[in-house]
Amino acid sequence: MTLSPTTPRRGPVPDRIVLPSPNGATIAAHLGTTATIRTGASLRNARAVAAWLATRHDPAHTTVAVVAAGEQWPEGALRPAVEDLWGAGAVIDHLLRAGWSTPSPGAAAARAAWLAAADDPVGNLLSCGSGRELTQGGYREDVLIAAEVGSSRSVPVLRGGAFTAES
């Protein structure tokens, strides 16, 4: 089993999978001192995450922080990732469509970035820096899987140091 999303599509999937994530999961773990609920979102499950949040929390009394995780360069410095900005923007877009209001300027910018890319997620993901890098490295199918917007209803919630699926 690897971090490549093609792995589970090639064979039987075990009941439980534990994979390291140096980016989003690390940020989620660090947010543990200030955030009561931490979920993982992407273009594939942005709608599901927003719906899950909207059905469990009152927007008038809840603050939601959406963090575009980015990546790390080999030496450890932050590498911004536009695809993570698009995923954050997609979550924000769905929250606003569900009746949440008053996004911060940063949230509004992330949403605008997503709306600018939403008409062609496959083309935009393939042409962004990470998409080109993955394609050149032989992982084009990973990019195509990432572009399956709205295809996942899974809402991973961080509890006890691990993400588990909520419904």
Total-model pTM: 0.88
Domain count, the chain: 1
For the domain that residue 157 is a member of, what is the CATH number? 3.90.1560.10
Q: Three-state DSSP class for 44? A: coil
Q: Rounded to the nearest 10 degrees, what angle do helices 82-97 and 129-136 cross at?
A: 130
Is residue 34 in some structural domain? yes
Report, as an integer, the average pLDDT of 141-150.
96
Is residue 157 in some structural domain? yes
pLDDT attached to residue 71: 80
Is residue 7 in some structural domain? no
- The residue range of the domain holding 40 is 18-166
150: left (phi over 0), alpha (psi -120 to 50) or beta: left
* φ, ψ for residue 129, nearest 5 deg: -55, -50
Model confidence over 15-65: pLDDT tens digits?
Answer: 777 666 667 777 777 777 777 788 889 999 999 999 999 998 888 888 888
Residue 39 β-bridge partners: 157
pLDDT attached to residue 20: 62
Is residue 13 in some structural domain? no
